[in-house]
Amino acid sequence: MPEAEACDGVLDPRELAAPDLLRAEPGAELRAELRAEGSAGAERRALVHAWLALQAWGALRPVTARAALAATRGGDPVAALRELARKAPEAQLDAARFAVSLRRLVAIGARLVPFGARAYPASVATLADAPLLLAVRGEPARLAGAHVAIVGSRRPTPYGVSVARRLARELAGLGFGIVSGLALGIDAAAHHGALEAGGVTIGVLGCGPDLVYPREHQALAAEIAASGVVLSELPPGAAPLKYHFPLRNRLISGLSQAVLVVEAKARSGSLITAEHAAEQGREVLAVPGPIDASTSEGPNLLLRHGATPVLDASDVLRALGRTDEAEAWLRRRSRGAETLVALPPDARAVVTALRRAPVTRDELAAQLGLTASQLTAPLLALELEGLIAEDRAGRLRIVAR
């Protein structure tokens, strides 16, 4: 049937929303939705409508929603919604609310990845409570591949921020996607580290796809979406409510081969994510910390119960059974350290500055108290050695080795 065939791919609301529909006010009759539209367009519209209705009703009931879809022939969302609405009329999504949802999705350029689509992440599809629909900002194909989650405290120490950023940079340089929750603290450090390495990072929201929480991470979310993915399983407009975040946490671990906790208290969302990881058969990793620091309670507790300690990217590779790659990475790092020692003092000063954060050439010159011409020689030496590179935003960064 056409609906089942359409489910094989990603749905783009921008291709389905007529201009008249997007301009319509909530509560309008929306007759324009049906005018001058062929049967194929009407079927696509009905398909998106059904998926969004199932998402709105089933986001907090993923197991029940999945069962309703599985009960249909070929996983037909239109039939699933029709049958579900007989028992739960509130599952229907009226035309006005559908129009609002569609407008919000179009406004952020989001695409919809239904359960069963080729782009739906295979690691998430195996979960008993896998969401029916993911709304994605960015390229859905980036959901594929090997990912590692890095999570931790919203109020970390400078040490925790530095470690999370460095580990994310190292792992992204090895080709891992870095998954986190776009929260303050360790999450943000992990996203920034992956971006600094020019890698892919995935931000999983605890609110609707058209919102960003916390609000101060709007720019970070846009940067992530440009080269990675920002996603939500919640319907457009869903607020960042407390009970949404356990859902978000199980999706963070579900997307990942391993979950690494950097800093966290003993009772925290990060440890809930680690619990989900253990239940899902993922590796649980932790960065050791001082035994008298509250931010180290969570990681140290995980280590006591068998989590793998992580000091650098090689420990993550070993935990995933990639021992040869771990040894090769350590050898490259050792050669890089030898190269750094052999560099002149001005080049080493540049590396020290860039380890704190990527900066533009002008910002680097200001930090080091040098002129642009004085920076030319050390930057050229470092670029020839492959130790630094310039990203798309014009910032110099350390190249993960």
pLDDT above 80 (res 326): yes
Burial 193-227 (b: 16+ CB within 10 A, else e): bbbbbbbbbbbbbbbbbbbbbeeebeebbebbbeb
In whole angstroms, what is the distance from residue 94 CA to residue 91 CA?
Answer: 10
pLDDT above 90 (res 22): no
pLDDT above 80 (res 226): yes
For residue 385, what pLDDT is reported?
Answer: 73
pLDDT above 50 (res 37): no
Q: What is the mean pLDDT of residues 233-250?
A: 96
For residue 5, what pLDDT is reported?
Answer: 38
Q: What is the mean pLDDT of residues 243-265?
A: 97
pLDDT above 70 (res 342): no
pLDDT above 50 (res 30): no
In whole angstroms, what is the distance from residue 130 CA to residue 152 CA?
Answer: 23
In whole angstroms, what is the distance from residue 300 CA to residue 147 CA?
Answer: 23
Residue type at 12 in one-letter notation: D
For residue 398, what pLDDT is reported?
Answer: 77
Give me the torsion for CA of 255, 140, 223, 320, rounded to 10°.
30
- What's the chain's Rg over C-alpha atoms? 23
Whats the size of the chain, residue-wise? 401
Do you find a cis peptide bond into 214, omega within 30 degrees of 0?
Answer: yes
Q: What is the mean pLDDT of residues 72-83?
A: 92
In whole angstroms, what is the distance from residue 221 CA to residue 273 CA?
Answer: 21
Higher pLDDT, 362 or 6: 362
Please report where in the chains the tokens 């989001």 appear, as a residue: 110
**Domains along the chain?**
2-107 (no CATH), 145-322 (3.40.50.450), 343-398 (1.10.10.10)
Q: What is the mean pLDDT of residues 18-24?
A: 46
In whole angstroms, what is the distance from residue 154 CA to residue 358 CA?
Answer: 22
Lowest mean pLDDT among 24-28, 74-78, 102-106: 24-28
Q: Phi and psi dihedrals of 154, rounded to 5?
A: -80, -15
For residue 378, what pLDDT is reported?
Answer: 86
For residue 359, what pLDDT is reported?
Answer: 86
Q: Phi and psi dihedrals of 398, rounded to 5?
A: -70, 135
For residue 314, what pLDDT is reported?
Answer: 96
Query: For 292-320, how does the pLDDT look when each residue is reduced to its tens digit (9 = 90+)?
Result: 999 999 999 999 999 999 999 999 999 99
For residue 287, what pLDDT is reported?
Answer: 97
**CA nearest to 270, candidates 177, 164, 172:** 164
In whole angstroms, what is the distance from residue 44 CA to residue 14 CA?
Answer: 12
- Integer CA distances (angstroms), 349 to 10, 166, 198, 365, in order: 47, 18, 22, 11
Q: For the residues of 308-376, what is the DSSP string, one character each?
A: EE-SSHHHHHHHTT-HHHHHHHHHHHHHHHHHHHHS-HHHHHHHHHHHH--B-HHHHHHHHT--HHHHH
Give the contacts of 379 (CB within 8 A, at least 6 positions apart).
Answer: 350, 361, 388, 396
User: What band does 381 get if pLDDT is binned at 50, 70 and 90?
Assistant: confident
User: What band does 336 get if pLDDT is binned at 50, 70 and 90?
Assistant: low
Number of neighbouring beta carbons within 10 Å of residue 258: 23
Number of neighbouring beta carbons within 10 Å of residue 153: 28
pLDDT above 70 (res 185): yes
- Integer CA distances (angstroms), 259 to 125, 157, 245, 316, in order: 18, 20, 16, 10
pLDDT above 90 (res 8): no
Question: What's the token pair of residue 132?
Answer: 């029916």
Higher pLDDT, 385 or 160: 160
Lowest mean pLDDT among 8-12, 223-227, 257-261: 8-12
Give the contacts of 23 (CB within 8 A, at least 6 positions apart).
Answer: none
Give the contacts of 143 (CB within 8 A, at least 6 positions apart).
Answer: 113, 119, 120, 121, 134, 136, 202, 229, 231, 255
Q: What is the mean pLDDT of residues 211-226?
A: 97
Mean of per-residue pLDDT scores for the chain: 88
Q: What is the pTM of this model?
A: 0.82
Cα angle for residues 317, 320, 326 (degrees, 5° grid): 20
| 74 three-class SS | coil
